[in-house]
Structure 1
């Protein structure tokens, strides 16, 4: 029987394995339930109240422009941090964006980072959840007009902020950064600065979740109404492999075109989120982003980090990047009355379930390989325990047919090797660490080893 991960299931097992039961963690479920639709709507409407959050808008007013918006975000995050017992601190990531492209003069930009420090000094992993707080209208250089940006992207900013509020009240072994970035509409400026900083400072970023346009459930033109589906965009061939013949050659020889770290993260998200969030269908999209478009996860991918983008299923382009107006009976503009706050809550709960499961799990197994010494219809995998953080209770060996988008079977083992009665010619495999409470690390696709 082919099994997906949506319900508690018992999987077929090799001789040395033990039964695997997928279950919810009560602590994670409580945090998921704590995510508030009311708070999310209040955040979105407050961000809209600043009239415009255009990256080049006013920075001196206390009530209007991007300066007032970022100061409020930082102050609100600091208020959440009071419940953390000193574990969360909030800071501006400040830099000067030089003139060029959609920046007409050197401009000081400020990202807001709320950093919830992990409690295990040996666990260096960092997880990032982000939304961009800048907004725009038709003319990308128009810094004066009313640009409410309720869905694009106050919705994503509200997700990041609401998770900071809920998760600041608890402790986790690894570090979580709740981020609101500027300059997305002008060229991914804010996220590029953080990604480059993360690379230069050797941050151990294990996953980056970008929430951009996650508040609308009505599809323009198609007239589809869908409040249960969210898209997760993930790249297949890693951005860092572009132009690297050795990396591309290894990818092709290993059949891993559909198993990049970001694609595995997307599979992980679908499994875990649908375990915790009712009436949610995580739709995996095999693209880095929407057709010929980009988002704040892209700079992280370009720096070699694992990252994905969340976006609503059906976009209403009458509301994106539009001046607020009414023409021929049609409303244009990204105003808050047209956002679906119950849907944003659902997206936030998805993010929280994934972040919490990842941050509570052991680190990924190291040096995962599939042995190639000798021709056989069996498959032997071997790996090493993670060197940092808590020791895993065991490991899941995952298996799927080559045409399947999802992992279909899980085998639980306590050793760091496993031999399965299935051929590596006919199936794909991966390995993930798991603790005694069932928290799983990300899946690691194996490389050929002797």
Structure 2
């Protein structure tokens, strides 16, 4: 191919993402965490009628904050309440209404493509059924809700191709009920969910292990899709994909965003759904087939999680404001905001990605191209490959606006491969691994 025939490569640096990173405010985050702690307890079973105490007051305050943010962007956010009554559960013995507060910022080109940021409203102490004791929940998880509100404040000043969702979920401590509600609604309404980024404890820098570190964060992601069929598992056994679910490639995307746009932050990708034997609100989304990950601090302090407020022989227990580092809380919030913006400005991830090349000297990838408005910002595609033992994508080639490309003299047996879509401005989608193991879903 002559030089004049090579596709023009879109820019790889997006200065607007640095602007978004810098606009996230630690003071705004501190204000939100302080306000939420002030409600005394946000236990799912707590008071709902008071204006000053309990989860009902907290929910109404969060809703009013979303509405104020929307007013400042000429009504760009649709603020909705999702709710369902549960009873007879181990941690919800009596009929209780679980309520999510959700703000939706509709995309201009591809409104049915959803990129979702979540945090949890509720808090708890030692006894998971104790709905009356003070349960400040400063880090777990006022820090996550502060991140959701701050990301909405910053990103609502921009317009995006895809739809952004800022979700304050409830019922996490009682059994991930808020996530189940939202995932069910998304499934029923046919949302094309590109990513769920769950934030649960993003404000603590000093762990019970004695380590204080404000420069790392963990991203947890499942390796194989929970909804994988037996036939898909059989195919994966021969073609690979154990570490290339869409959730895992979202984690890689977040890691790259941190490296390129978030000062003094390194992402530790953890190849596990969540902490050992524990759970978070991305899980209900994974369980209905949506890609989702969890962002959180690296060093947890268990004396500040699910504990009654007390002092035992000079040892403080409880999740109070003193345990939150607000600049760090803001740093992880900016990681979310930049990730959301980059994904939403990019075209949709490639669909129907396939690969061939067995017993050949070259590898060929093919994919489906979106049509209509959702392709208006599409410039072309980038192919990626890496050694099978490498954790991140290390090699790539931009191939232009085509739907098939052969990588000559690159043997399929030696690498893992993927495809990403690239906008005219250079915003790139997550990488899609070929076949059902890596699929983000088709176009609608």
**Coarse TM-score class (shorter-chain normalised):** over 0.9
Q: Deviations over 1:184-203 (max 9, x none)?
A: 00000111110011111111
> Taking structure 1 as reference, are residues 16 and 311 closer, same or farther at Cα in structure 2, changes over 3 Å only?
farther
- The answer to whether the 8 Å contact 1:191/1:296 transfers is yes
Q: How far apart, CA to CA, are the structure 2 residues paired with 1:80 and 1:290?
A: 33
- The answer to whether the 8 Å contact 1:205/1:305 transfers is yes
Structure 1 residue 378: Cα displacement: 1.3
Instruction: Indicate which of 39, 43, 48 corresponds to 2:37.
Output: 48
1:416 aligns with 2:417: no
Q: How far apart, CA to CA, are the structure 2 residues paired with 1:189 and 1:279?
A: 35
Instruction: Indicate which of 57, 75, 78 corresponds to 1:89.
Output: 78
Structure 1 residue 123: Cα displacement: 4.1
- The answer to whether the 8 Å contact 1:20/1:410 transfers is no
Q: How far apart, CA to CA, are the structure 1 residues paired with 2:132 and 2:6?
A: 63
- The answer to whether the 8 Å contact 2:147/2:329 transfers is yes
- Corresponding position of 1:174: 162
Q: Deviations over 1:25-56 (max 9, x none)?
A: 22222122111000000100100000000000
Instruction: Indicate which of 1, 8, 26 corresponds to 1:37.
Output: 26
Instruction: Indicate which of 28, 34, 37 corresponds to 2:17.
Output: 28
Structure 1 residue 66: Cα displacement: 0.4
With structure 1 as the length reference, what TM-score do the two structures score? 0.92
Structure 1 residue 166: Cα displacement: 1.0
Q: Deviations over 1:269-292 (max 9, x none)?
A: 111232110011011000000101
1:145 aligns with 2:133: yes
Instruction: Indicate which of 75, 95, 98 corresponds to 1:106.
Output: 95
Q: How far apart, CA to CA, are the structure 2 residues paired with 1:239 and 1:363?
A: 22
1:445 aligns with 2:430: no
Instruction: Indicate which of 309, 318, 323 corresponds to 1:338.
Output: 323
Instruction: Indicate which of 232, 238, 241 corresponds to 1:247.
Output: 232
Q: How far apart, CA to CA, are the structure 2 residues paired with 1:230 and 1:208?
A: 17
Q: Secondary structure at the match of 1:55?
A: coil
Runs (4 or more) in structure 1 with deviation over 4 Å come to: 14-22
> Taking structure 1 as reference, are residues 201 and 247 closer, same or farther at Cα in structure 2, changes over 3 Å only?
same
1:223 aligns with 2:210: yes
Q: How far apart, CA to CA, are the structure 2 residues paired with 1:206 and 1:320?
A: 31
- Corresponding position of 2:182: 194
- Corresponding position of 1:427: 415
Unaligned runs of 5+ in 1: 1-13
Unaligned runs of 5+ in 2: 437-444
Q: How far apart, CA to CA, are the structure 2 residues paired with 1:170 and 1:287?
A: 34
Q: Deviations over 1:94-140 (max 9, x none)?
A: 211222110011111210001111122x5420111000010000000
Q: Secondary structure at the match of 2:227?
A: helix
Q: How far apart, CA to CA, are the structure 1 residues paired with 2:274 and 2:221?
A: 7
- Corresponding position of 1:383: 367
Q: How far apart, CA to CA, are the structure 1 residues paired with 2:93 and 2:390?
A: 48
Q: How far apart, CA to CA, are the structure 2 residues paired with 1:402 and 1:138?
A: 44
The RMSD of aligned alpha carbons is: 1.7
Q: Secondary structure at the match of 2:90?
A: coil
Q: How far apart, CA to CA, are the structure 2 residues paired with 1:294 and 1:16?
A: 51
